[in-house]
Structure 1
Amino acid sequence: MPLHLQKLEDEDRLSMLIDDMLLSILGRVSLRMAVRTAVLSTRWRHLPWLLPELSINVEDFLSVPCTEPLDANDMEEAMVSLTKATRGFLADQKRGSTISILHLKLYLINTFLCEVGPLVCDAIDNGLLKDLDLTVLDETDPLDCSDEDMLQRAQEIDTFFRAYPSVLHCLTKLSLKNAGFDKLDMHHVLFDCCKQLKDLSLCYCDTGTFSVFKIDAPNSKLCVLDIDKCRFERIELVCLPKLETFICTTWVSQHVPVTFGFVPSLGELELSWGKSYDRCPFKLSELLHGTTSIHYLTLDFQGENLWLQPEMEELCTAFNKLKKLSVCGVFVEFDIIWITAFLVAAPSIEKLHIQVWNHACDVGDFRGDVYRDRSTPQWEMRFNGSENRLLKVLEIDGFRALEQQFTFIRSMLERSPNLQKIILRGDDQCDDCRPLDASLLHPSKFPQKDEEEMVVERIRDGIFSPEIIFDEDWSLSI
């Protein structure tokens, strides 16, 4: 059969599928691609308006290539296209079914919000739209954002919500950036008005520099809270009964950055911070006081000094249900045997993930004046013959054949009789590191094929027999 006829036959077979299967296919491509596909075939023409989940992202409408950083004209042109797309997909006469969720990413340009706002409100009021995932983008570098700029941005967000209250009523996910709510009641907007909110992300947002953000929302449905580089002195989670995941990145507090009150559903906690040279280390047990269900904990030190005080027994209560522990950003020259302290406190851990930090771009002359020398952590180990019988998987990212890493792995095998699998991965270095890699004391050299057998022998030491997996190209697949 000629090639062009074979292609036509394949297309006909695809078009013979039922609508549900074709919608499943369209749901895996961008909205622009779905519309283009519909234009090419009468069979597909009505399908984009039947999609139960829509994603309208202003970034998809930016010209290619676009300026870096984006200028106002690029953003305005993209918002023109987004407004047109929103109008087309939320029009009653074209819709054949209810939209279960709309993912909407836009720029805060009042000219266009006055058009997009009513469209979304009408869809909500008419029962066409059930849930809204809203991201308010901002291309301004936070370092170039003054306090006045942040106050103005928060005021514009508040004005938009006040003008279109229906948006708040079906808002299930919200992401904000560069907004200062010093003169506004952020708690009222986010927790009293957004009664359906389940996922909240705040980046470079606050209620004033070094302010305390207290969340007391017993009726809130919030499940995920992500606080990234916000200038809160402390976050007090007084009452969030549905909260399952809390992420806190780069805080300004000199001491414990967050306190937990009534958070009975909190199971996943991620703390990430690098610049610890001018901060007092705090006790993790103090921070975790009040939590009872943490099962997945991530600690990321971003290659700097540890911001935790040494402790073991004090952590036992908080670590009682811990199943997975991820310790990231541990400087390559640090001894990592101290991580064993967490295993002593958490005998129920099933998976341990460690990521070694080995960035050439922040070593020696490349570090800059804002950092100080790193100090090797000194933690007193008191094992008392305890074992981790549930630990089955150990993952090490940034592995290299250093004696300290072999020592750590063997110590894990000695105290974890059921450790079945060890996954060793290479570095996930940034673009700035690659030309500087030779400057490192321990260059990013993952074991070659002919070296793997030697590594296996060093780990097993003639005593142990875990499965050992080498995964050099892991960073290319994530």
Structure 2
Amino acid sequence: MELNSRHSQKGEDEDRLSMLPDDVLLSILGRVDIATAARTSAVSTRWKHLPWLLRELTIDVKDFLPTPHPNPVEAQHMDAAMASLTKAIRSLLGSPQREATIITRRLQLKLYLVNGYSDAVGPLLAEAIGTGSLKDLDLAILDEKEPVDCTSECMLHQACIVDGFFSACPSVIHCLTGLSLDNVCFAEWDMQHLLLDCCKQLRRLFLSNCDMGMFSAWKIQAPGSHLEVLEVGCCCLGKLEVLNLPKLERLCWDGWICPNAPLSLGVVPSLTELQLLCPANVTFQGFNLSDNLWLRPEGKQLCSVLSRLRKLSLLDIFIEFDLLWMMVLLEAALSVEMFDVEIWEHPCIVDTEGRRQSYGERTSPWK
């Protein structure tokens, strides 16, 4: 009797769920990864057509890796995951819809460009773009190597793969609204042209361990760019000169290792958030604010550069440094609402061997 009651209750719950309209069920599916959504559609006739009606798709190659994720991710795991990802893209973007109308989608895609899969994925994306079913692509090209393990040859090879992928399917690069790259050296390619001139719809750009050759300067002159977010992490750039990015709102540089002032800002009237993190060591000579400032021109004219800044983060500041120099930034950025300063070490451990290795005998930013 109790068993029958349980079965009856289970059936009622299933019927109640099946009675929900498509938009509610789509909202539920939109909160799970695509692998789960595909499995759901396979076990229920009521849910069978729903994944093909999703307007926002997130397809992450790591969802197709074994669980728990192997660390490190071996080549055979990448290959198997990319095979499943390619099958999912072909199914979701290439299958005929239940309805006659074409559904315009936004796709967030994370993948490995290994073993020739770029030749399979690229045409599928290009076809979806050509039919109008895909107009917004947020693409992350992943690489499992840690920056410290990447040689110049590895980074040049990764750049060649990225360039080949976009060159073979130019419609893909024109559709990009977001792009994330790991371990790419553009020493033999025009970084400005590939990432900004060609990506005319790009609004978010994330670069990890990417450069143009060791300590080369990257000058960004893109008055027509739609770029709103630029995040740079562990990139060996000699300097980043943002000459003109009129719609840039957020700029984050995490872990510059160049020996001089790393950043120069020009026309950035929309900038509201600036975050700089520096892993300085004993070879870093520092710079005087008045001699080599990353914001030019100085003084009252800084107001034009930082007039809309709402959030300012300065991290890993040595505890003995005189922080009065930050007043220059605060006086210029009168609209700052969030000001974050993080000290590199605790007062109790100032005089340690680790401190001397990181800062030598310097006790202030002026010495």
Relative to the length of structure 2, the TM-score reads 0.87
Equivalent pair of 1:66/1:74 in contact (CA under 8 Å): no
Q: Could you tell me how far apart the structure 1 residues matched to 2:178 and 2:293 are?
A: 30
> Is 1:27 aligned to residue 30 of structure 2?
yes
User: CA shift at 1:136, angstroms?
Assistant: 0.5
User: CA shift at 1:325, angstroms?
Assistant: 1.0
Q: Could you tell me how far apart the structure 1 residues matched to 2:115 and 2:57 are?
A: 23
Q: Could you tell me how far apart the structure 2 residues matched to 1:307 and 1:173 are?
A: 38
Q: Could you tell me how far apart the structure 2 residues matched to 1:291 and 1:274 are?
A: 24
User: CA shift at 1:44, angstroms?
Assistant: 1.2
Counterparts in 2 of 1:36 and 1:374: CA distance versus 1, 3 Å: farther
Counterparts in 2 of 1:370 and 1:330: CA distance versus 1, 3 Å: closer
Equivalent pair of 1:102/1:129 in contact (CA under 8 Å): yes
Residue 100 of structure 1 corresponds to: 105
Residue 297 of structure 1 corresponds to: 312
Q: Could you tell me how far apart the structure 2 residues matched to 1:162 and 1:224 are?
A: 24
User: CA shift at 1:115, angstroms?
Assistant: 0.7
Q: Could you tell me how far apart the structure 2 residues matched to 1:227 and 1:114 are?
A: 28
State, as a whole percentage, how many aligned pairs show the same letter.
44
Residue 136 of structure 1 corresponds to: 141
User: CA shift at 1:256, angstroms?
Assistant: 1.9
Q: Which amino acid aligns with 1:179?
A: V
Residue 283 of structure 1 corresponds to: 289
Residue 53 of structure 2 corresponds to: 50
Residue 331 of structure 1 corresponds to: 345
> Is 1:320 aligned to residue 334 of structure 2?
yes
Deviations 1:419-453 (A, max 9, x none): xxxxxxxxxxxxxxxxxxxxxxxxxxxxxxxxxxx
Q: Please state whether the residue corresponding to 1:77 is helix, strand or coil.
A: helix
- Higher relative CO (Cα under 8 Å, sequence separation at least 6) belongs to 2
Which ranges of structure 2 fall in alignment gaps of 5 or more residues? 296-301
Q: Could you tell me how far apart the structure 2 residues matched to 1:198 and 1:113 are?
A: 23
Residue 160 of structure 1 corresponds to: 165
Q: Which amino acid aligns with 1:300?
A: L
Q: Please state whether the residue corresponding to 2:110 is helix, strand or coil.
A: strand
> Is 1:71 aligned to residue 77 of structure 2?
no
Q: RMSD of the alignment, in Å? A: 2.8
Q: Which amino acid aligns with 2:219?
A: K
Deviations 1:125-160 (A, max 9, x none): 110101101101001122221112111111111111
Equivalent pair of 1:283/1:308 in contact (CA under 8 Å): no
User: CA shift at 1:21, angstroms?
Assistant: 1.2
Match of 2:88 among 85, 90, 114: 85
Q: Which amino acid aligns with 1:27?
A: G
- Which deviates further from its counterpart, 280-289 or 153-162? 280-289
Q: Could you tell me how far apart the structure 2 residues matched to 1:291 and 1:312 are?
A: 13
Counterparts in 2 of 1:114 and 1:140: CA distance versus 1, 3 Å: same
Deviations 1:92-144 (A, max 9, x none): 41475524311111111152111111000000011010110110100112222
Q: Which amino acid aligns with 2:307?
A: T
Counterparts in 2 of 1:25 and 1:252: CA distance versus 1, 3 Å: same
Q: Could you tell me how far apart the structure 2 residues matched to 1:368 and 1:65 are?
A: 39
Which ranges of structure 1 fall in alignment gaps of 5 or more residues? 335-357, 380-478
> How many residues matched?
351
Q: Which amino acid aligns with 1:119?
A: L
Residue 146 of structure 1 corresponds to: 151
Counterparts in 2 of 1:141 and 1:312: CA distance versus 1, 3 Å: closer
Q: Could you tell me how far apart the structure 2 residues matched to 1:12 and 1:30 are?
A: 24
Match of 1:231 among 217, 233, 236: 236
User: CA shift at 1:305, angstroms?
Assistant: 5.8
Q: Please state whether the residue corresponding to 2:136 is helix, strand or coil.
A: strand
Deviations 1:354-379 (A, max 9, x none): xxxx9xxx9968x5996457977699
Q: Which amino acid aligns with 1:251?
A: W
Q: Which runs of 4+ in 1 moved over 4 A?
A: 303-309, 362-365, 367-370, 372-379
